[in-house]
Amino acid sequence: MSAVTTALTEDQLALAEVTLDFAQEQLAPHALAWDQDKHFPVDVIRQAAALGLAGVYVREEHGGSGLSRSDGVLVFETLATGCPSIAGYLSIHNMVAWMIDRYGDDAQRARWLPGLCSAATLGSYCLTEPGAGSDAAALRTRAERQGDHYVLTGVKQFISGAGSAGVYVVMARTGESGPGGISAFVVEREDPGVSFGPNERKMGWNAQPTRQVVLDGVRLPADRRLGSEGDGFRIAMSGLNGGRLGIAACSLGGGQSALDRSLSYLADREAFGSRLLDRQALQFRLADMATELAAARALVRQAAEALDTGDALAPRLCAMAKRFATDTGYTVADAALQLHGGYGYLSEYGIEKIVRDLRVHQILEGTNEVMRVIVARGLTETLR
């Protein structure tokens, strides 16, 4: 607990305590079974919502918790100590809810936020396509204006929560090529023309579904558009700044859990007449793991504060934090597996699941290669 709560306010300490209790009581005991059975525990997500964890960033007057990004990274790190997969989905769900609160009008907020904040309705974010991943501005899903309606046609790929979620924030092209021709829409699962691909067979994140979202002539009234025409790419990227922090925080939580499990294992395990924990070489490995997590945590919190204060450098800092924390979390988890020896490779110890879950964090919400592009662009743009 101490690694997660350094230099926090009293309110944040209380938030961390409540969230940690939930993670250890409702997530951790079931995480392996959910992974093995590919079970999406919607009932448990609704229990998290009862604690205010499904509308973390939504303003209180709209049914949310009204918390800051600095609070949010604490929430998602702590949840991920119980299960990175469920914590990761909750980060995405909260991104969707925030986007509707931030960019929606009063009618849209009233229509969708109560259900999202209570998790009676789950949310999914639809940007990536089969041919447009890192180059998101090249998306091909179209929204053709027909009077006071739009008709959406296209396919979205790798959509977390797809099929189970009731609300989808979808980016579609309403104009010319490039980012300026993209608009954002809210699509509902029951809209005619919406269907889903099979649940993908994945390396990790098995406790949440990942499917294609297929839009076959989905006819939406114009009041389903979020923001103005052409604002979609800006809305999408704005959402991703917070989403990247959420996934970075989930990597910290998974890495911290792996470190904690390693400490317990090495304290209990003996070899060559002494505890493994007393071996200096292994102590040094643990020290490096703890140091790297602390450094990543500091960067994530710096980026969260920048986003909270509207710092112009916030997008760059979010990219830095996402890249560094997701690389660090995975590296720490992999080191923990090595420290467990053969037992780390067995599913019952939970380490290999953390490794599998954290690996995708280096890809989603923008690959870490794209994070480097964002950072480099910020460093060099004044020299062009």
Give the residue numbers marked as catalytic: 365
What are residue 173's DSSP bridge partners? 142, 182
What are residue 258's DSSP bridge partners? none
Nearest to 54 by CA among 29, 12, 83, 19: 19
Contact of 247 with 176, CB cutoff 8 Å? no
Element at 109 (helix H, strand E): helix 106-118
Which segments within the chain are labelled E, that is strand?
A: 123-126, 142-146, 149-160, 167-173, 182-188, 194-196, 210-221, 225-226, 270-271, 274-275
CA distance 268 to 91: 35
Nearest to 326 by CA among 256, 249, 259: 249
Contact of 314 with 307, CB cutoff 8 Å? yes
Other beta carbons within 10 angstroms of residue 203's beta carbon come to: 10
**Block residue for tokens 């294609």:** 212
Residue-wise burial string across 150-181, b where 16 or more C-beta atoms lie within 10 A, e elsewhere: bbbbbbbbbbbbbbbbbbbbbbbbbeeeebeb
Residue 132 has what DSSP assignment?
A: B
CA distance 216 to 203: 29
Contact of 168 with 191, CB cutoff 8 Å? no
Three-class secondary structure of residue 254 per DSSP: helix
